Amino acid sequence: MATVTRADERRRKIKMVAPPTGGELLLCLDPSTTRTGYAAFTATADIEDAGYFTPRRGDDVLTRIRTQCEDLESWLQARRRGRRLGPVIIESPSGHVAAWLRRKTRGAPPQGLDLYGAAFGAIWWACIDACCRVMVVPATTWTRGTSKRKRRAAIAMSYPQYRSAVQPASGRRAFVDAGGDMADAIGLGLWAFGRWSLAAHG
């Protein structure tokens, strides 16, 4: 899933942000109105932290977005102590609507797509306001049409710590990462390291 070829490089002319160096972290974010998945990588592509910024489900959508931004700001402030902030890569809405959702809405723009854009914009601004080096990547650029289920399964196979964190346990009724938010944040980071590796050996 994270493999990058030279054909990909020619097809997707995206200017990459500089990779993390030394003690910096790469932070990858998958925003939404319900929760934002995140993954933090060291400069050697090891996962240091991953999870969600999760607001209260009963709050209205704008309050949920604001809460996620506040949680992100707190996370950035905590990581700033004793180390430099590295680059941040954020998945942006691609403008593509899944086939099942087009059928459900009979071709009309699905309700909530504009609010997803608002969540992305708020997360983007929180990172800019924290003086991070920010890069935006459309979802379809790095996923290349792979379904969420397959992306999540690939991450679970590669990272036991992800699998143990999200798989159902006794007393837990549902898969924790059912929406694939954390998996997508991890996958976005792996895609970025693949691009940097290709550029370094090109």
- Residue 25: phi and psi, rounded to 5, are -115, 145
Task: Please say if the pLDDT value at position 1 is more than 60.
Answer: no
pTM (whole model) above 0.85: no
Q: Single out the residue of 34, 44, 16 nearest to residue 141, CA to CA.
A: 16
SS (H, E, C) 17-44: CCCCCCCCEEEEEECCCCCEEEEEECCC
16 has pLDDT over 80: yes
What's the rounded mean pLDDT across residues 133-158?
Answer: 87
Q: Is the pLDDT of residue 96 over 60?
A: no
Q: What digits encode the pLDDT tens for the residues 32-65? A: 999 999 999 999 999 888 888 999 989 999 999 9
Q: Which residue has the higher pLDDT, 103 or 20?
A: 20
**Contact indicator for 135, 188 with CB cutoff of 8 Å:** no
CATH superfamily to which 6-200 belongs: Ribonuclease H-like superfamily/Ribonuclease H (3.30.420.10)
